[in-house]
């Protein structure tokens, strides 16, 4: 019997990226299954952020394609699209540094994100529908921020800001989210909570994350791709990847910070 075909949400094919002749990525191909989490790991400078930049069209690759397969509708070739077009297809990106509106409340940050391109005037002058309010409340609940909704976002702890930013992405109901080091600067408990949040998110969304924290990777990654000097070194489950001799050599060679 033929094995069931995997339901692929994103197909990265032979991507290379060069900056003035320096190859940050060389011939990277990865398929990401729908409603799973794919973690890209690897030493500093391996090309992880560059790959996220290419998926969301912040950076143009020198070769290769990225194809997105929405739950409904035809395949979309992301390479060649504009950043805005990609966002409107339901692909959300969280950058390494949290960017929330510090002087606005947590609730208003969510509201602005929900209104998205309709912008600030719409959110101020149009009454909030019960449906939108429910969506915001549900998002805050999932991020464990319900009791903070009236606080200014600037007063949140670093980890809470990171979770608020993820919640702001989710309220737009994306199909795919890209997270660059979502647990950077978080303590152990906050990191675990973020892992629990990801497990919930995956039910309705495909997750691509870049991460250094090995405990978080073990907790939250379904599949791992190790990048090293711009190339795919190995991919597999967390355990498979950690057992790999080449991966161990790369990490131990860097002072064993993993």
Where on the chain is the footprint of ligand ATP (CB under 6 A)? 19, 24, 42, 44-50
Q: Decide which of Mg ion, ligand ATP, none touches 47; Cβ closer than 5 to 8 Å per partner kind.
A: ligand ATP
* Residue closest to Mg ion when measured from CB atoms: 49
- Cβ at position 134, least distance to ligand ATP in Å: 37
* DSSP alpha helix (H) spans, the chain: 48-55, 83-88, 106-115, 119-125, 130-142, 158-170, 188-201, 214-220, 238-243, 245-252
Tokens (6 digits) for 149? 């909704």
- Cβ at position 179, least distance to Mg ion in Å: 12
Q: Which among 248, 209, 243 has a CA at the least distance from the CA of 228?
A: 248
- Cβ at position 181, least distance to Mg ion in Å: 7
Rounded to the nearest 5 percent, the helix, strand and coil shares of the chain are 40, 25, 35
Q: Which among 29, 38, 83 has a CA at the least distance from the CA of 56?
A: 83
Residues 258, 249: Cα–Cα separation, whole Å:
11
- Cβ at position 35, least distance to Mg ion in Å: 25
* Residue 16 binds Mg ion (CB under 5 A): no
Nearer to ligand ATP, 107 or 251 (CB): 251
Q: Which stretch binds Mg ion (CB under 5 A): 29-37, 45-53, 200-208, 230-238?
A: 45-53
**Per-residue binder mask for Mg ion (CB under 5 A), 76-105, x = binder:** ------------------------------
Nearer to Mg ion, 109 or 225 (CB): 225
Q: Which stretch binds Mg ion (CB under 5 A): 31-39, 49-57, 105-113, 155-163?
A: 49-57
Query: DSSP letter at 155?
Result: G
Q: Decide which of Mg ion, ligand ATP, none touches 158; Cβ closer than 5 to 8 Å per partner kind.
A: none
Residues 14, 82: Cα–Cα separation, whole Å:
20
Q: Decide which of Mg ion, ligand ATP, none touches 162; Cβ closer than 5 to 8 Å per partner kind.
A: none
39 in Cβ contact with 51 (< 8 Å):
no
* HEC-encoded secondary structure of 161-178: HHHHHHHHHHCCCCCEEE
Nearer to ligand ATP, 69 or 216 (CB): 216
Using alpha carbons only, what angle is made at residue 238 by residues 232 and 244, rounded to the nearest 5 degrees?
60
* Residue 49 binds Mg ion (CB under 5 A): yes
- Cβ at position 230, least distance to ligand ATP in Å: 7
Q: Considering CB under 5 A, how many residues would be counted as binding Mg ion?
A: 1
**Any idea which residue has 């077009």 for tokens?**
85
Residues 234, 8: Cα–Cα separation, whole Å:
19
Q: Decide which of ligand ATP, Mg ion, none touches 45; Cβ closer than 5 to 8 Å per partner kind.
A: ligand ATP
By the criterion CB under 5 A, which residues form the site for Mg ion?
Answer: 49
């Amino acid at each position: 019997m033929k094995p069931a075909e995997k339901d692929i949400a994103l197909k990265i094919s032979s991507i290379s990226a060069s900056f003035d002749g320096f190859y940050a990525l060389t011939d990277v191909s990865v398929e990401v299954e729908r409603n799973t989490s794919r973690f890209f790991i690897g030493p500093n400078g391996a090309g992880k952020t560059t790959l996220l930049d290419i998926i969301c069209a912040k950076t143009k690759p020198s070769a290769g394609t990225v194809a997105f397969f929405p739950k409904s509708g035809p395949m979309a070739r992301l390479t060649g699209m504009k950043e805005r077009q990609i966002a409107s297809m339901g692909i959300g990106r969280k950058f390494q540094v949290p960017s929330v509106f510090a002087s606005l409340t947590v609730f208003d940050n969510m509201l602005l994100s929900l209104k998205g391109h309709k912008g600030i005037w719409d959110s101020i002058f149009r009454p909030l529908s019960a449906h939108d309010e429910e969506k915001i409340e549900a998002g805050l609940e999932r991020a464990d921020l319900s009791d903070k909704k009236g606080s200014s976002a600037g007063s949140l702890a670093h980890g809470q800001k990171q979770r608020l930013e993820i919640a702001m992405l989710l309220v737009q109901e994306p199909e795919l989210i890209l997270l660059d080091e979502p647990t950077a600067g978080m303590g152990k408990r906050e990191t675990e909570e973020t892992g629990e949040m990801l497990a919930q998110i995956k039910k309705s969304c495909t997750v691509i994350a870049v991460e250094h924290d090995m405990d978080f990777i073990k907790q939250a990654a379904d599949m791992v791709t190790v990048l090293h000097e711009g190339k795919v070194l190995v991919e597999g489950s967390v355990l498979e990847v950690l057992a790999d001799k080449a991966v161990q050599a790369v990490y131990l060679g860097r002072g064993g910070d993993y």
